[in-house]
Amino acid sequence: MKISVVTVCYNAAKTLEQTIESVLGQSYNDFEYIVVDGGSKDGTVAILEKYEGRIRYISEKDEGIYDAINKGIRMATGEVIGIIGADDFYPDREVLTRVAEAFRRNDTDSAYGNVKFVDPEDTAKVVRFWKDKAYDPANWLSGWMPPHIAFYLKKTAYDTYGLYKTEFTCAGDYELMLRMLYKNGLTSQHIPATLMTMRVGGTSSASLRHRYVANMEDRKAWKINDLKPRWYTLWMKPLGKVRQLFARG
């Protein structure tokens, strides 16, 4: 089973090399790595050139993060596609092996795992841990969603039900997973392991603004898919993250 891993980035020279090394260092052999750069000016392109022949990449202007992800998906030739951010990295060398085994063993359309959030400067310091659970479609109504950065989906799902909607600015991942799993009933499998390490960042005020916009886009995600959440669904979604602050994996 070939897996395509996609990174989108812009001016990511500070962290991108660690991301690339964590992907290329995977023990699983049947994968390709695609990086879609938005035309960086900070040395990112020089890093990509350093890995030429081991990764596939483009560097050009895009229309936002979801447009860039769509470019990567169109370039992908794998049966399964996963996304990794330019400041994220795999916690160990067995991530893609676990993903491939989950797809083979369970004959599933998608799979997801746990996520460790770390301090942006001291990546050994865990500040939040997203420990997920077995998939149940009813959990969507309680504000649940799988962690996008630890989510893998078959390419045939994109071919059948479409790519990321570029009118979204921060909740396009939520809309896509809601559309794939809840609306269209695709199957999913939880992998009980940490599949991603993510740096946290941003100020409290920026996070509040981001959360407001995300909540508005969450509501839009249900509406454009002709789905009706419960009255508490979209209030429970951000509250569900609070318990992650007290877990360390």
For residue range 217-239, list pLDDT tens digits in order: 999 999 999 999 999 998 888 77
Check residue 242 and give its pLDDT: 64
pLDDT tens, position by position, 24-64: 999 999 999 999 999 999 999 999 999 999 999 999 999 99
Query: What tokens were used for 68?
Result: 């860039």
Cα–Cα dist 163/184, whole Å:
14
- Interval 208-216 mean pLDDT: 84
Q: Which domains does the chain have, with CATH numbers?
A: 3-246 (3.90.550.10)
Contact by Cβ (8 Å): 86, 15 = yes
Q: Is the pLDDT of residue 152 over 90?
A: yes
Check residue 236 and give its pLDDT: 87
pTM for this model (two decimals) = 0.94
pLDDT tens, position by position, 77-120: 999 999 999 999 999 999 999 999 999 999 999 999 999 999 99
Cα–Cα distance list, 59 to 71, 80, 111 (Å): 11, 23, 29
Check residue 246 and give its pLDDT: 64
Contact by Cβ (8 Å): 20, 47 = yes
Looking at this protein, which amino acid is placed at residue 207?
Answer: S
Check residue 211 and give its pLDDT: 78
Check residue 205 and give its pLDDT: 46
